[in-house]
Structure formats: C-alpha cells, structure tokens
C-alpha cells in the first residue's frame, strides 16, 4: 500500500515511519528539509517530498498514485495559534481542504485526519481550527481520529519539563488542578490504523485514555514548581466527546466511534472529559518517561 503522510517529521510521523517503513510504500510530505534529511538517513526507503499543505499544487503532485493518506500536518502550539490565528487557519483549515480535495480528485479510497480533544467545544484558535479539520475530512467522506496529548511529543510539556529540570530552572505550571488526556504514541498509531482500515463514512474514532494532572507530571521531574495561572485559551479539563455527540456514539474495543451522518438512537450522556477519567499515578508517569523520553 502506498501511503502519503503529511507532517512526516513530527512525533506521529516518526512513529508511523518506524512502524511501517518496511510494510508500506511511504511518501513523507513536510516543509522541514533539515528534519527530512535526518529522517532520510534512517529511512532511505521512504520517499521524502518538500512542500507545504498550504500549496494545493504541491500536495496534489505528491499524492499521485497513493492508496491512502494520513494527514498529520498542523500548527499545534496553542500560544502561537492565539497570537497568529490567520496562520493557524492557513495551515490547519485551508491546508486540510487542500489535502482532502487532492485526495478526492486522485480518487484516494482511504484517508484519515488527526483531530484533537481541543477541537471539542473549542475555546481557542487552535481548537477551532482542529474542529474544522474534522469537519472538512468528514464532508469528503473520510474518517478522523481524535485524541488528547501524545506523551512526550515534540513541543509538549513533558520534554519541556525535563529540559528545565536538567538546567535547574523552575517548572511553570498554570493550574495545579488542570487535567489532560494522555496517550502513548503507539496507541495513537493503533487508533489511526483502525480508522484507516474501517469503512470510509466520515466517522470519528476515539480511544479511551487515562488522564494526568499537569502538577503530577512536573513533580516527576522536580520539586521546584511555580504556579503561574492559566493562559488565555486554556481549559481546566479537556473533552474527547461532547454531550451532544453521545447520541451518535458507538462503543468499540477500548474506545468509541462518533457516527457522522446518523443518530444511532442513543440517549444523551455526560461529556467524556479528562477530570472524569482514571488519573495516572506518579509511578505510571515515571514509567512512561523512562519508556518514551530519550
């Protein structure tokens, strides 16, 4: 199977490359030539293409002959998207439309976009753009996956805390009671594969995920912690499924599917939020650090 992966140089792209470079014929698409060069030395069997999802012609050209698309390219930092919302729109919304339209015109049968819990009842520019990503792919009949934080992903709080602790600096926590869904990258890959291999009906695949308090992650690295207050656009708790979506929700193995085009007749339930999930213990957090943070 020939698969185009946008955002190949990100954490998820690396994980997909490591898992499937011997199994899939991968085309890796991103705008970061340095990171592509680093990856190419490790994965010479992957075809790397320089391009930006904002450029429809570059996307269309890279997609020629592929059987499936995994759209992982996005602006992801909440602060950057709040400061530059139009840039978030250009990449996360317009870029996603380019990917979906190119896939449609190439008659690609399988395509999945990477959604986010921050796109559920969003309160910031990043979340709004991620909600639109899902809407766009679903409108073309393609599937989506939705999950929370990937543990240790590039630019996330885990490597940031580790770096600050190594330098002997204080760790800044916005709210000690704040919770976040936390998913190992291998589980994110499994969810994508499930959505990719399922019928393309514009459905959203969600994995049950434990949660963690940000204060507990900080304590796993240091006792020098400062509470600084929530930033603009931050929720105290995240949401993977809204209450209004529960009427279209089916439970599957260790997760859920939100059906796009039909009401499955379910009763409205409470939203699936991070403060109602199992909270990872300090020992579990340290085990994840040892396994995924190098």
Catalytic residues: 118
Note the residue count of the chain. Answer: 294
Return the structure tokens found at 205: 């695949």
- Integer CA distances (angstroms), 13 to 30, 101, 170, 204, 249, in order: 10, 21, 31, 20, 28
Task: Tell me the torsion sign for CA atoms 20, 181, 31, 87.
Answer: positive
Residue 223 CA from chain centroid, whole number: 30
Return the structure tokens found at 142: 């393609």
Rounded to whole angstroms, the Cα distance separating 212 from 277 reads 9
Instruction: Name residue, tokens 């963690």.
Output: 212
CB 36, CB 100: distance < 8 Å: no
Calculate the dihedral angle through the C-alpha atoms of 93, 98, 101, 107, rounding to the nearest 10 degrees: -130
Instruction: With both helix axes pointing from N to C terminus, report the angle between 95-105 and 125-139 in degrees, rounded to the nearest 10.
Output: 10
CB 145, CB 16: distance < 8 Å: no
Rounded to whole angstroms, the Cα distance separating 234 from 252 reads 30
Angle, alpha carbons 231-238-264 (nearest 5°) = 150
């Amino acid at each position: 199977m020939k698969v185009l992966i946008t955002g190949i140089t990100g954490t998820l792209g690396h994980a997909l490359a490591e898992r499937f470079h011997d199994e899939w014929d991968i085309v890796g698409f991103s705008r970061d030539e340095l990171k592509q060069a680093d990856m190419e030395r490790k994965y010479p069997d992957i075809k790397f293409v320089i391009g930006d999802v904002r450029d429809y012609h570059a996307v269309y050209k890279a997609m020629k002959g592929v059987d499936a698309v995994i759209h992982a390219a996005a602006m992801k930092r909440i602060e950057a998207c709040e400061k530059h919302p139009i840039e978030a729109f250009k990449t996360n919304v317009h870029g996603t439309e380019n990917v979906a339209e190119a896939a449609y015109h190439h008659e690609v049968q399988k395509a999945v976009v990477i959604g986010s819990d921050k796109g559920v009842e969003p309160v910031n520019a990043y979340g709004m753009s991620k909600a639109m990503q899902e809407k766009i792919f679903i409108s073309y009949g393609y599937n989506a996956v939705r999950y929370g934080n990937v543990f240790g992903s590039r630019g996330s709080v885990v490597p940031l805390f580790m770096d600050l602790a190594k330098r002997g600096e204080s760790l800044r926590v916005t709210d000690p009671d704040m919770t976040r869904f936390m998913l190992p990258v291998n589980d994110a890959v499994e969810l994508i594969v499930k959505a990719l291999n399922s019928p393309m009906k514009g459905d959203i695949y969600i994995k049950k995920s434990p949660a963690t308090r940000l204060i507990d992650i900080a304590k796993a690295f240091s006792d020098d912690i400062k509470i600084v207050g929530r930033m603009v656009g931050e929720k105290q708790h995240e949401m993977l499924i809204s209450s209004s979506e529960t009427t279209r929700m089916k439970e599957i193995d260790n997760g859920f599917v939100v059906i796009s085009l039909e009401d499955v007749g379910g009763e409205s339930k409470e939203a699936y939020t991070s403060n109602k999930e199992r909270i990872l213990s300090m020992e579990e957090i340290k085990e994840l650090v040892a396994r995924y943070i190098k």
